[in-house]
């Protein structure tokens, strides 16, 4: 059976000779993979055409679709687990790939609703005042790129690696063309079939190429984006593709790297951190049979503790049962294919020219539930490099399998220097309970790593571990690791968007961004804004309240109610000597009094106060000063209806409190839940 690609609205089986993909455990054929006959120019055009419908959806609409898609994928997870086993993965390995990937989609769906507007454009940062009188201002917006995003993925995580790129791209409003790695493409194809079958997104928003990409890159231009995960060698070839260079096409690369794990100088053999260190190194060697871009390749240990570390690692690795993941008790499966096993063997032989194999590495080894006649097994292998400054293969050669090398350091400065020899890594970790040591190591190595974690007894129980990228944190690294970033919460979504600086009048920018800018034209009528439904409120609609003169009784009473007897409010002499020059009212009294001035107390469409943001106290207010409040509709965010609740939306109000000289004394935003008429 040959895999099909989903392109230009239909499933396509390649017309040429297919590349045969075999089961990693038994060696039996699984499928053929071939993309010959695909019109790649048409694939790009089809995706761009789909972009119009995708961009017409708001961020929240796309988030709802992502959530629905993730639910459907989760409902079919057992089908994916069955296929994943054929890649050599254990159930635990597959959980990371399948449910970890689907969980990433859920995370992005929630993040978008929480952090992005229910609009097709995102306003970023605050307004920049560009003129003396404030009639000419600046702002940044983000809009979807009007092309496609091409995702070229690695073989080791066919689900997670695909979904962690698809989710932010679709959230941004950019259609995707997914190209999975051939050895595990059958698992990615099965998942894409579910995405396509249920029509979660407009036709053309998701396309799949199983096989080579042909001349696909030749048809891209300035509208498009390319992301790549895989070997540094392949990544460099793609990054320097003439068309990518000529059109300055954004290219994000996440490459395999020689990640390190450092045992702190202060850690003793009986410490909790020592045991945690041993457990983590062994786990990273055997999870996914070491086929992780984040796996620990270099184990950096204080020289006096080398013997203890080696003994402990050997003891732990000896308990790892390797074989068919379908057999009870098996903790480590096979590499993805025999070609990969041969490559790992060759890399270990390279390392062995300068290092000593101290565990594993043998040609024959015991397996449970199978033999290795057709499979792609490779034993956990530990090497020792006694001279990490003189023998550089350990910092240059990566065996992409269950292989790590232990090396000594004499001082903490040496440990930092050894970590840097990796020339850029996705992740580094440090095991220590000494915070001063942690600061020194992290600050000494952070410039060479995309992510760093410190594990000790305080966080170990809840730590996600060395090798687990998280949706809310960036995944990538400098130098050898590719110099790119993926994930990172909102950052990943913005990668697929164009950031544009706007300049103009506050009123014009308000019309473009659907957000009030200070100095913009405002509107008002005889109806209090709190008496209006969500649909009736207009951006820029303003209420200016009556005035209130602050009295000494106000200050004293608020202090008694709140318990805040700070000297500036109660000590006449101390306050006079302070930079205030007199007793002043509490800042929180000012915003409390302001609420009393602008709130309409009778029942109405406003359901609740939703929060307060960006509070700044600008000028002090004392007894005898008179304040006034300006309440302006700054932003409206329509919310999806949940259960039996009334349909509603969030209204963000800009609040400015001024004194008798019309100078601002406090500015902030409040958010209220306001009923919508529509169901």
The reply to whether 254 belongs to the active site is yes
Q: Catalytic annotation on 355?
A: no
Q: Count the neighbouring beta carbons within 10 Å of the beta carbon of residue 503.
A: 12
Radius of gyration of the chain (CA): 30
How far apart, in whole angstroms, are the C-alpha atoms of residue 333 and residue 325?
Answer: 6
- β-bridge partners, 139: 502
- Annotated catalytic residue within 159, 210, 293, 385: 293
Structural contact between residues 655 and 599, judged by C-beta atoms closer than 8 angstroms: no
H/E segment holding residue 504: strand 497-504
Q: Which residue has the tokens 């699984």?
A: 30
| DSSP codes, 336-395 | S-HHHHHHHHHHHHHHTTTSEEEE---S----BSS-SSSS-----EEEE-S-TTT--GGG
Q: Cβ of 10: how many Cβ atoms within 10 Å?
A: 8
Cα–Cα dist 368/375, whole Å: 12
548-549/626-638 β-pairing? antiparallel
Say if strands 403-409 and 425-431 run parallel, antiparallel, or are unpaired. Answer: unpaired
Catalytic residue among 164, 189, 254, 354: 254
The backbone torsions φ and ψ at residue 176, rounded to the nearest 5 degrees and listed phi first, read -120, 145
CA distances from residue 380 to 273, 322, 576, 632 in whole angstroms, order as listed:
23, 9, 74, 64
Long-range CB pairs of 415-419 (<8 Å, 24+ gap) are 415/262, 415/265, 415/300, 415/302, 415/441, 416/440, 416/441, 416/444, 416/445, 417/389, 418/260, 418/298, 418/300, 418/388, 418/389, 419/260, 419/262, 419/298, 419/300, 419/444, 419/445, 419/448, 419/449
User: Which residues pair with residue 586 across a beta bridge?
Assistant: none
Which of 141, 194, 196, 201 has its CA nearest to residue 173?
201
Neighbour count for residue 193 (Cβ, 10 Å): 16
Tokens representing residue 313 in the block:
């690692």
Distances (CA, A) of 518 to 336, 505, 541, 654, 665: 59, 10, 12, 9, 15
Q: Is the dihedral of CA 32, 37, 41, 43 positive or negative?
A: negative
Residue with tokens 């932003």: 635
Mapped onto helix, strand or coil, the DSSP state of residue 146 is: coil
Name the residues annotated as catalytic. Answer: 254, 293
């Amino acid at each position: 059976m040959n895999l099909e690609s989903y392109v230009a609205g239909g499933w396509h089986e390649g017309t040429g000779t297919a590349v045969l993909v075999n089961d990693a455990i038994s060696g039996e054929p699984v499928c053929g993979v071939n993309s010959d006959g695909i019109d790649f120019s048409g694939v790009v055009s089809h995706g761009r055409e789909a972009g119009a419908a995708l961009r017409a959806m708001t961020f929240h609409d796309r988030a709802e679709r992502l959530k629905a898609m993730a639910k459907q994928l989760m409902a079919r997870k057992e089908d994916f687990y069955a296929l994943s086993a054929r890649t050599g993965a254990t159930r635990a390995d597959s959980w990371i790939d399948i449910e970890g990937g689907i969980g990433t989609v859920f995370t992005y769906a929630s993040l978008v609703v929480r952090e992005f507007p229910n609009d097709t454009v995102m306003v970023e940062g605050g307004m920049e005042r560009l003129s003396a009188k404030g009639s000419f201002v600046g702002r940044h917006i983000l809009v979807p790129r009007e092309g496609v995003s091409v995702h070229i993925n690695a073989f080791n995580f066919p689900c997670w690696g695909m979904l962690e790129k698809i989710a932010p791209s679709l959230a941004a409003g950019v259609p995707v063309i997914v190209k999975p790695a051939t050895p595990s493409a059958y698992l990615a194809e099965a998942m894409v079939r579910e995405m396509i079958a249920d029509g979660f997104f407009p036709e053309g928003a998701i396309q799949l190429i199983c096989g080579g990409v042909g001349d696909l890159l030749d048809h891209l231009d300035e509208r498009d984006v390319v992301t790549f995960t895989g070997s540094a060698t392949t990544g460099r070839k793609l990054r320097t593709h003439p068309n990518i260079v000529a059109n300055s096409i954004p290219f994000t690369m996440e490459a395999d790297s020689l990640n390190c794990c450092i045992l702190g100088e202060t850690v003793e053999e009986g410490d909790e951190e020592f045991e945690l260190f041993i457990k983590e190194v062994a786990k990273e060697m055997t999870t996914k049979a070491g086929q992780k871009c984040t796996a620990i390749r270099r184990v950096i240990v204080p020289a006096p503790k080398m013997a203890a570390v080696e003994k402990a690692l050997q003891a732990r690795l000896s308990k790892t049962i390797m074989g068919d993941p379908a057999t009870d008790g098996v903790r480590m499966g096979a590499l993805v294919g025999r070609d990969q096993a041969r490559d790992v063997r060759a890399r270990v032989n390279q390392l062995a020219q300068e290092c000593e194999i101290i565990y594993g590495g043998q040609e024959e080894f015991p397996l449970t539930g199978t033999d290795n006649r057709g499979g792609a097994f490779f034993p956990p292998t530990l090497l020792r490099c006694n001279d990490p400054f003189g023998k550089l293969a350990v910092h240059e050669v990566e065996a992409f399998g269950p292989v790590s090398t232990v090396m000594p350091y004499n001082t903490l400065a040496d440990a930092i220097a050894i970590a840097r020899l990796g020339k850029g890594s996705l992740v580094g970790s440090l095991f220590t309970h000494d915070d001063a040591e942690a600061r020194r190591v992290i600050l000494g190595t952070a410039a060479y790593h995309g992510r760093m974690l410190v594990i000790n007894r305080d966080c170990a129980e809840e730590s996600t571990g060395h090798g687990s990228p998280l949706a809310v944190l960036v995944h990538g690294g400098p130098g050898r690791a590719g110099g790119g970033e993926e994930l990172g919460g909102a950052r990943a979504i913005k990668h697929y968007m164009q950031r544009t600086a706007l300049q103009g009048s506050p009123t014009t920018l308000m019309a473009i961004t659907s957000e009030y800018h200070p100095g913009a034209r405002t509107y008002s009528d005889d109806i209090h804004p709190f008496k209006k439904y969500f649909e009736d409120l207009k951006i820029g609609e303003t209420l200016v309240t009556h005035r209130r003169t602050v009295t000494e009784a106000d200050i004293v009473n608020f202090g008694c109610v709140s318990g805040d007897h700070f000297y500036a409010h109660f000590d006449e002499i101390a306050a006079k000597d302070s930079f205030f020059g007199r007793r002043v009212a509490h800042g929180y009294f000012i915003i409390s009094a302001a609420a009393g001035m602008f709130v309409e107390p009778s029942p109405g469409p406003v359901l609740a106060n939703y929060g307060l943001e960006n509070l700044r106290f600008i000028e002090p207010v004392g007894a005898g000063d008179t304040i006034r409040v300006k309440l302006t509709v700054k932003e409206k965010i329509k919310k999806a209806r949940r259960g039996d609740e009334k349909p509603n939306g969030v209204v963000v109000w800009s609040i400015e409190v001024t004194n008798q000289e019309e100078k601002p004394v406090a500015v902030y935003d409040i958010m209220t839940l306001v009923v919508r008429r529509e169901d």
